[in-house]
């Protein structure tokens, strides 16, 4: 990657925000590089949504320092709103507007002239593939189509930073793949993207790096290729027609637990080891009917994260 001279997409030091007694974001330090897709991963309640609200200039931090595209959301709210496209996990639409009117409405909200807003709205409708729905009321859209419309809305003003809060939740696999393509296309055009989710596999495929959050704090930043989980032993689920024959021939040290249906959960060092094991089982006459990986990369790293006691 070429040397970046521009601002990081997000920079924070000691950023905190509480709701009553709950510290949603707790002395958070993050450096999120620009022009990348950064996954924000953590369990529910880790503070992902709160962090994104602060970055979108909607929620004030209690303390700490934060810069979004180089601006302080507290003092330069207008500049932050101009630089950031925010797509919340839950958002409403105006029922009586058509998809095109909806985007034009937000174009006007970003000070586009009505001509510019109209052009931009049609452009975005085409980008997210909703051409057939531009003149139809928003409420006829499916969940996946609504998500795409929401994504288009976040892009109306050509933001430099996209904040996507759980964009893939509730989408079918096909819609997720489409969303992933759209997000990657924005990254390729130079937009920084922060995307939160607990649908880990989905983020692993689209992201360049990942920030793990737990209890309001950042507990790790990793390039996707260098995840701690990628060198780890992986778990597999193996099931055979005869459970006893299977158990007898599996290396005892590898068995983590036995499932109720007789399937064994085993931990193996690598895919090569897994391939050898299945070949050996078949050679020995065990009728293997199922062998599936239980967690890979990001997910394994996430599970590992949860096991680590927090300082």
Give the footprint of other proteins on this chain (CB under 8 A): 19-20, 53-54, 56-61, 73-74, 77-78, 81-82, 84, 86, 88, 90-94, 96-97, 101, 104-106, 108-111, 114, 153, 157
Closest separation in Å from C-beta 280 to other proteins? 54
Residue placing its CB nearer to other proteins in the complex, 47 or 73: 73
Residue placing its CB nearer to other proteins in the complex, 157 or 232: 157
Residue 246 to residue 259: CA distance in whole angstroms: 13
What secondary structure letter does DSSP report for 98? Answer: B
Residue 311 to residue 216: CA distance in whole angstroms: 13
Query: CA–CA distance from 21 to each of 62, 64, 213, 217 (Å)?
Result: 13, 18, 19, 16
Closest separation in Å from C-beta 127 to other proteins? 19
CA angle 147, 149, 150 (to 5 degrees): 60
Residue placing its CB nearer to other proteins in the complex, 156 or 200: 156
Residue placing its CB nearer to other proteins in the complex, 50 or 207: 50
Residue placing its CB nearer to other proteins in the complex, 140 or 256: 140
Residue 168, φ and ψ in degrees, nearest 5: -95, 0
Closest separation in Å from C-beta 107 to other proteins? 8
* CA-based nearest residue to 233, from 276, 278, 280, 296: 296
Closest separation in Å from C-beta 104 to other proteins? 8
Closest separation in Å from C-beta 148 to other proteins? 15
Closest separation in Å from C-beta 192 to other proteins? 17
* CA-based nearest residue to 39, from 307, 295, 310, 297: 297
Residue placing its CB nearer to other proteins in the complex, 108 or 247: 108
Within its chain, how far is the Cα of 49 from the centroid?
Answer: 12
User: How many Å from the N-terminal Cα to the C-terminal Cα in the chain?
Assistant: 34
């Amino acid at each position: 990657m070429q040397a970046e001279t521009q601002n990081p997409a997000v920079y924070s030091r000691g950023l905190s925000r509480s709701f009553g007694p709950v510290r949603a974001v707790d002395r958070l330090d993050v450096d999120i590089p620009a022009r990348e897709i950064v996954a924000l991963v953590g369990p529910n309640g880790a503070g992902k949504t709160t962090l994104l609200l602060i970055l979108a200039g909607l929620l004030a931090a209690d303390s700490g320092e934060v810069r979004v595209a180089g601006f302080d959301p507290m003092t330069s709210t207008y500049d932050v709103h101009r630089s950031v496209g925010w797509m919340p996990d839950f958002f409403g639409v105006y029922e009586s507007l058509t998809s095109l009117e909806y985007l034009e409405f937000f174009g006007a909200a970003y000070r586009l002239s009505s001509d510019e807003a109209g052009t931009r709205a049609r452009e975005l409708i085409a980008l997210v593939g909703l051409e057939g729905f531009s003149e139809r009321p928003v409420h006829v859209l499916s969940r996946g189509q609504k998500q795409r419309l929401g994504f288009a809305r976040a892009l109306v003003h050509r933001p430099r930073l996209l904040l996507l809060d759980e964009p893939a939740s509730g989408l079918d696999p096909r819609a997720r793949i489409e969303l992933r393509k759209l997000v990657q296309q924005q990254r390729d055009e130079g937009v920084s993207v922060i995307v939160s989710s607990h649908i880990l596999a989905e983020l692993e495929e689209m992201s360049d790096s990942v920030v793990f959050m737990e209890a309001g704090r950042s507990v790790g930043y990793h390039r996707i290729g260098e995840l701690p989980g990628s060198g780890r032993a992986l778990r597999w689920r193996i099931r055979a027609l005869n459970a006893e024959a299977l158990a007898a021939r599996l290396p005892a040290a590898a068995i983590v637990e036995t499932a109720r249906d007789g399937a064994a959960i085993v931990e193996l060092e690598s895919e090569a080891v897994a391939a050898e094991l299945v070949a050996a089982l078949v050679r020995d006459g065990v009728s293997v009917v199922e062998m599936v990986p239980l967690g890979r990369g990001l997910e394994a790293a996430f599970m590992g994260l949860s096991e680590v006691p927090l300082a």
